[in-house]
Structure 1
Amino acid sequence: MTSKATPKTNRGVRGPARTTREDWLNTAIDTLITEGVDQVKVLTLSQKLGCARSSFYWYFKNRTELLDALLDHWAATNTKVLIEAAGAKSDTICFALGHLLAAWVSKGNFDTKLDFAVRDWARRSGGVRRVLDLNEGARLEAIAAMFRRFDYPYGEADVRARIVYFTQIGYDLQETHESWDTRVARGRDYLFCLTGREPSEEEVQFLSKLVYDGLTDQPAQQA
């Protein structure tokens, strides 16, 4: 899986030999998230990197190529991680949903801020809107396929996929903050409401551990 790009702090002036394609892309991603696509400009990025504008053209033909690279990066991270998580081998639908939700909220996987930056960008560009629609369609199909693997009828699988997907999108949009105890307390009910099947204690603990490990970058303590 392609790792999520992290903007770097740059000191001093960089020449073309010291400024990499990744530097430009990381800085463009950070700018897209914090300032919007209108500020993803060669001059703006060069000032942030402390290098000459000419070094940009060692790696990109023009700004359009950079913007295309931003979309490619977004699809190769956010969309890919959800599709892979939805397809993870699992014995039950509750275990499968646990994998998906954990991938969504864990550090270093799904980049919520980048996802919303692309959504904002899509409001201004028909081309980006089409790319967003294609990626959302692929995400929804992967989640629906996850349900179908556990014998949900086609229509029900499609609706449940949408409930899971748009519930989490709305949750992220509201920037809801919950304590760890609250998350754990609601885990069983979330699994039941989203799948329609009563989860076992093992499935509830599995979800809690996956989410905890992902949020803290360390294994959960065993009871």
Structure 2
Amino acid sequence: MAAVLDTKSQYTCVLSIVYGNRYDAGFVRLIMLSRDIHRNHKMPTASKPGRRGRPTGRAVLTPQDWFNAATDAILEGGFDQLRVLPLAKRLKVTRGSFYWHFEDLPQFIRQFLDQWQAQRMKGLRYWQPGLDPQLSPEQEVERVLLLMFEGPAVEFKRMKVEFAIRDFAQRDLYARDIVAAVDEARVEQTARLLEPLVADGSARGMAMIQYATVLGSVLLFRGQLGGERALQTIRQQWQALLQKPKVVTEHADTGAKAR
């Protein structure tokens, strides 16, 4: 019974038949090494494709990156600057990155407005009545007026974006509802703040006057030469107006006691 030859012997037999004696042991080892390399080599397998259109490298952006780019565009030219291609060029990516996050431009604008509303609502926590229990109603109004006229909420860039949104709301129903919700929340909270200082039933009306005064003053004077001084003067005059009824009452009470 023929013995089973090992691999090296098999190669030696084959080489003897083909080449006769014109080979050496080194040649056999070379042939075997080539075989082992070929056997152990793993062919590359195709990686599983990710989601179609998934951007890579610099194009891997978040929705917030696009919202920030939109804010910059609005500051430069209003809502008319919100177009997919210009925003993509601003971020140095292709439009595919935009459509990875958003279905279309209208959806993007709605989400941008939703975020603006959420941020404005969050900012109202600084206007809350009773935030500092140690302050009197007059002191609390003074604190809030300082924020409304001169605080970070009315910083020039923020207000420029807000006025652009208000302009857009004149021709877009979704934006109009967003602005209306923010206005209502601001007026309602201001009314609760003013209620201890004004006549019964007049808190909401006074709150609307105060709110309109703040927006109008910021629109007219913010960023203008001497504007900060003008805003300070308006704030002080409005604060004095709110305190005036109490002063009159105190004088009346003093006169009554003297008589």
User: TM-score of the superposition, structure 1-length normalised?
Assistant: 0.70
| CA 40–188 in structure 1, closer or farther in 2 if over 3 Å, else same | closer
| CA 174–180 in structure 1, closer or farther in 2 if over 3 Å, else same | closer
Alignment match, 1:124: 171
Structure 2 distance, partners of 1:56, 1:115, is 24
User: How far does the alpha carbon of each residue in 1:56-76 deviate from its partner, in whole angstroms, 9 at most, with x for none?
Assistant: 123222212211122122212
Shift of 1:107: 5.7
Structure 2 distance, partners of 1:195, 1:37, is 41
| CA 74–142 in structure 1, closer or farther in 2 if over 3 Å, else same | same
| CA 154–80 in structure 1, closer or farther in 2 if over 3 Å, else same | farther
User: How far does the alpha carbon of each residue in 1:94-128 deviate from its partner, in whole angstroms, 9 at most, with x for none?
Assistant: 32223322333456434211110111101111221
Shift of 1:188: 4.6
Alignment match, 1:113: 160
Alignment match, 1:208: none
Shift of 1:187: 5.8
Matched, 1:40 2:86: no
Higher RCO by CA contacts (8 Å cutoff, separation 6 or greater)? 1
**Aligned residues of 2:114 and 2:178 also touching (Cα < 8 A):** no
**Aligned residues of 1:28 and 1:45 also touching (Cα < 8 A):** yes
Alignment match, 2:184: 137
Identity among equivalent positions (%) equals 26
Shift of 1:158: 0.9
Report which of the two has the higher share of helix. 2
Alignment match, 2:120: 78
Which structure is larger by alpha-carbon Rg, 1 or 2?
Answer: 2
Structure 2 distance, partners of 1:31, 1:79, is 23
**Aligned residues of 2:117 and 2:182 also touching (Cα < 8 A):** yes
Alignment match, 1:99: 143
**Aligned residues of 1:85 and 1:100 also touching (Cα < 8 A):** yes
Structure 2 unaligned segments of length 5 or more: list them.
1-56, 248-259
| CA 103–58 in structure 1, closer or farther in 2 if over 3 Å, else same | farther
Number of aligned residues: 185
| CA 49–62 in structure 1, closer or farther in 2 if over 3 Å, else same | same
Structure 2 distance, partners of 1:32, 1:139, is 23
Shift of 1:48: 0.8
Matched, 1:16 2:16: no
Alignment match, 2:238: 190
Structure 2 distance, partners of 1:189, 1:198, is 15
Shift of 1:33: 3.2
**Aligned residues of 1:103 and 1:109 also touching (Cα < 8 A):** yes
Structure 1 unaligned segments of length 5 or more: list them.
1-13, 200-223
Structure 2 distance, partners of 1:112, 1:179, is 14
Structure 1 distance, partners of 2:74, 2:161, is 8
Which stretch has the larger CA shift, 190-199 or 138-147?
190-199
